[in-house]
Amino acid sequence: MLPHTSLSRRVDPLLVALGRLTGWLWLLLLLTIVANVTMRYAFGEGYVQFEELQWHLYATGFLLGLSYALQADAHIRVDVLQERWRPRTRAWVELYGMLLLLLPFIALILWASIPFVRSSYLLNEVSQAPGGLPLRWIIKAMLPLGFLLLLLAALSRFSRVWALLFATDSRSDHER
């Protein structure tokens, strides 16, 4: 159990609320898929908008859900190794993993995705499919938004790991 820090106490509730809200996207995605399949097979009508909406909902749910998964410690890791380690060893591995892998990857995605979204916005990009969805920049904007939220989650988690390893800001949780 990682101690909370002043940063994690501010960021984590926001990420939990966003994670719960994002969970409703999966229901909306399911309803969209059912409607699309029903229209296609029961009525012989297929709509490109429904196909694209499915992709957009899936991408949005995935990208916005990343930060919640990190905050809730529900992300994938090699548990076969980790379960045998002491808490401090796990914390050191997590600290180095964030510093050497996660934070540079987030920085790279943010650096590359902002011009990608800007270009789409300036071109007023639309779907290439006839009858497809307009405003393609909105779905593309989910990429930097999702990774910005992931950055917040990573910084919050980093502060908690740091507090465990170096006993900073953990006093407030144990002494209050």
Per-residue pLDDT tens over the stretch 11-37: 999 999 999 999 999 999 999 999 999
pTM tops 0.75, yes or no: yes
Domain ranges of the chain: 6-175
Where are the alpha helices (H) located in the chain, listed in sequence order?
Answer: 6-43, 48-71, 79-82, 87-97, 103-122, 136-166, 171-175
For residue 46, pLDDT beyond 60: yes
